[in-house]
């Protein structure tokens, strides 16, 4: 039987509560004979700082490097916000991305029928929406050099950054996107601004050439301004979208908010060998931490993505997705997805319901 070697990094705030429920779900699948599990836990974020003076302690990083995949809760602790930037909890994520070469960020945005009313858009516009945004995570204007703020001869200051992508970087995110599309609805929309930016003109050329290797995937291109508009106008037209770091940063937040339920959205960040870090898109929610109020479904669905993308276990991943759908159909709800007639539960109660549905 395949053994899954998983590093569990619960982090801060609600992190420990929600990862505990995702671990229960993985253990249930293990009990059912899908795989065996090696789980090792380590502190990260504010918890890492309190433990050993750094948000990404060396022992935690070593564990993350040696594991096949990482289940990450959330980091963030307002009481540590006065620390120098490099010691703040959020630096742990940036450090892990960099150290592990996690260049591909996968963010599904799915509307469950029971939650269509939670979106700020009309239910008929969003119901049935099921898209995934793939964002390149380690390049683009966020990392390009030169950058800075300089003073011109006339004394005026000028800020500048460099948008830059190498062909090899576009190829590697392109492969991830085409392969994700093959696992879903076989449609890929590449988002750029090729009419104005040379960098994204190259992006479009490389994506088009790559498309020849994937004849079963229907490739289209869209300018980013139109993509922002189309996500609000008709989000159901999209299956997989792929884009650079900056456009992806903005569009993935826009898409996730179409669902209206932050506690439901998982994510994956992958390296070149499909090793990945899996985490809910939300933060550490200090306002509800330790109160058994947090929705663990985003983290449970992140564990499902781990089974699908790192371990290639589609059956086990589908079992998690189906269990979550069943629980929602039963009307079980944490406070953030509460609705008339729902059965209110806490974090643990939601974990109980998913385990029972499995």
| 231-255 exposure pattern, b = at least 16 Cβ within 10 A, e = fewer | beeebeebbbbbbbbbbbbebbebb
Catalytic residue among 49, 112, 193, 309: 193
If we measure between CA atoms, which residue out of 347, 339, 349 comes closest to residue 16? 347
Least CB distance to ligand NAD at residue 281 (A): 7
253 is catalytic: yes
Catalytic residue among 253, 287, 315, 338: 253
Asked about 249 being catalytic, the answer comes back as: yes
Binding segment (CB under 6 A) for ligand NAD, from list 142-150, 156-164, 205-213, 277-285: 277-285
Calpha distance 290→58 (Å, rounded): 27
Q: For residues 56 and 92, is the Cβ–Cβ distance under 8 A? A: yes
The tokens for 323 are: 């269990």
Our answer to whether residue 142 is catalytic in this structure is yes
Name which position in 63, 282, 301, 323 contacts ligand NAD (CB under 6 A). 282
Please choose, out of 145-153, 209-217, 232-240, 279-287, the segment that lies near ligand NAD by the rule CB under 6 A: 279-287
Of 294, 333, 354, 358, the one binding ligand NAD (CB under 6 A) is 294
Other beta carbons less than 10 A from residue 178's beta carbon: 23
Residue among 284, 255, 281, 285 nearest 268 (CA):
281
Q: Which is nearer to ligand NAD, 93 or 111 (CB)?
A: 93
Q: Which of 47, 288, 301, 303 binds ligand NAD (CB under 6 A)?
A: 288
CA distance 100 to 308: 19
- Residues in 246-265 that interact with ligand NAD by CB under 6 A: 262-263
Active site residue 193: yes
Q: Is 138 in the site for ligand NAD (CB under 6 A)?
A: no
Site residues for ligand NAD, 93-122, by CB under 6 A, read 93
Asked if 135 touches ligand NAD (CB under 6 A), the answer is no
For residue 160, with 0-12 CB atoms within 10 Å meaning exposed, 13-18 middle and 19 or more buried, which class applies? exposed
CA distance 352 to 357: 9
Q: How many residues bind ligand NAD (CB under 6 A)?
A: 22
Residues 6+ apart with CB under 8 A from 201: 192, 194
Listed ranges 133-141, 223-231, 293-301, 349-357: which one lies at the site for ligand NAD (CB under 6 A) = 293-301
Residue 246 or residue 285: which is nearer to ligand NAD going by CB?
A: 285
Rounded to whole angstroms, what are the CA distances from 40 to 94, 211, 260, 271? 21, 40, 33, 20
Binding-site member from 269, 284, 302, 310 for ligand NAD (CB under 6 A): 284
Q: In what order do the strands lie in the sheet with 36-41?
A: 36-41, 3-11, 69-74, 276-280, 266-270, 104-110, 130-136, 240-243, 187-192, 218-223
Site membership for ligand NAD, residue 76 (CB under 6 A): yes
Say which of 62, 81, 213, 225 is annotated catalytic. Answer: 225
Residue with smaller CB distance to ligand NAD, 241 or 288: 288
Cα–Cα distance measured from residue 333 to residue 8, given in angstroms and rounded to the nearest whole number: 25
Candidates 115-123, 232-240, 249-257, 286-294; binding stretch for ligand NAD (CB under 6 A)? 286-294
Helix, strand, or coil (residue 292)? coil
Query: N- to C-terminal Cα distance for the chain?
Result: 20
Q: Scan residues 9-48 and list those touching ligand NAD (CB under 6 A).
A: 14, 18
- Annotated catalytic residues are 142, 193, 225, 249, 253
Q: Which residues bind ligand NAD (CB under 6 A)?
A: 14, 18, 74-76, 78, 90, 93, 262-263, 279, 282-288, 294-295, 298, 336
């Amino acid at each position: 039987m395949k053994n899954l070697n998983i590093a569990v990094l619960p982090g801060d705030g609600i992190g420990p509560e929600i990862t505990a429920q995702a671990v229960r779900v993985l253990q249930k699948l293990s009990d059912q004979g899908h795989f065996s599990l090696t789980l090792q836990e380590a502190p990260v974020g504010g918890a890492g700082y309190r433990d050993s003076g750094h948000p990404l302690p060396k022992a935690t990083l070593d564990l993350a490097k040696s594991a096949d995949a990482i289940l990450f809760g959330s980091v963030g602790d307002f009481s540590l916000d006065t620390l120098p930037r490099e010691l703040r909890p959020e630096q742990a994520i940036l450090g892990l991305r960099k150290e592990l070469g996690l260049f591909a960020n996968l963010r599904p945005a799915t509307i469950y029928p029971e939650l269509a009313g939670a979106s700020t858009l009309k239910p008929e516009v969003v119901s049935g929406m099921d898209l995934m945004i793939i964002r390149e995570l380690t390049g683009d204007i966020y990392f390009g050099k030169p950058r800075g703020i300089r003073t011109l001869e006339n004394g005026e200051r000028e800020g500048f950054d460099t948008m830059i992508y190498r062909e090899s970087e576009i190829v590697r995110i392109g492969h991830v996107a085409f392969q994700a599309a093959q696992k879903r609805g076989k449609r890929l929309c590449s988002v750029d601004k090729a009419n104005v930016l040379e960098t994204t003109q190259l992006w479009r050329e490389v994506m088009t050439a790559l498309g020849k290797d994937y004849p079963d995937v229907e490739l289209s291109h869209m300018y980013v301004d139109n993509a922002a508009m189309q996500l609000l106008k008709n989000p159901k037209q999209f299956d997989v979208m792929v884009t650079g770091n900056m456009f992806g940063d903005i569009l993935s937040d826009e898409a996730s908010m179409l669902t209206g339920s932050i506690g439901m959205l998982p994510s994956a960040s992958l390296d070149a060998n499909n090793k990945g870090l899996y985490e809910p898109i939300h933060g550490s929610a200090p306002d509800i931490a330790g109160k058994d109020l947090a929705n663990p479904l985003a983290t449970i669905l992140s564990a499902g993505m781990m089974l699908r993308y790192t371990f290639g276990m589609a059956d086990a991943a589908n079992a998690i997705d189906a269990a979550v759908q069943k629980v929602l159909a039963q009307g079980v709800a944490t406070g953030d997805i509460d609705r008339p007639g729902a059965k209110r539960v806490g974090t643990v109660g939601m974990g109980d319901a998913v385990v029972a549905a499995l």
